[in-house]
Amino acid sequence: MTILPIITLPDPVLRKKAIPVEQVDEALRRLADDMLATMYDAPGIGLAAPQVGISRRLVVLDAAGDEEAKQPLVLINPEILKLGPEKRVYEEGCLSIPDVKVEIERPSTLTVRFLDRDGKRQELAAEGLLATAIQHEVDHLDGRLIIDFLSRLKRDIIVRRFRKQIKPGNSD
């Protein structure tokens, strides 16, 4: 497995709506495995394909605690079917916006439909941290970032800070 470079703000691919995956094949499974390796290495609990520069509707997640066995999930073309009525606030970070944390209120439960790594249609009821992570990663697929939950002023300050970090002629 390969550790992929993670795209950071203000790269425009993070703002594009990702296109659906048309075929679940060996290349896509390899990409999912590389994304999982990248996510674990970062470390993070979720990673969307746009975060590695690929504008496709593919997400990998693992919300297992440190003391638990890994529980990797691959969601291809995820579609949130239902959001629960109760909300919870969670301080979210993002691998594409390092060192920024945003308190976000989201539904605490959801049901998501997706294709698994074998191309089979699945539905999953999620709660707590996993539900939050799924919503966060689906936001990535729609070009939405955690800073979009902030006021315009705070968002602009963060974007300016990341733009300053990019030096002319340096694509890293």
Catalytic residues: 137
Tally Cβ neighbours within 10 Å of residue 92. 20
Residue 39, phi then psi, degrees to nearest 5: -65, -45
Distance CA 156, CA 2 (A): 34
Name the token pair of 55.
Answer: 């504008």
Q: Which helix (H) or strand (E) holds 76?
A: strand 73-83
Strand partners for 73: 61
Residue type, 123: E
Hey, is 36 helix, strand or coil?
helix
Name the token pair of 7.
Answer: 């795209």
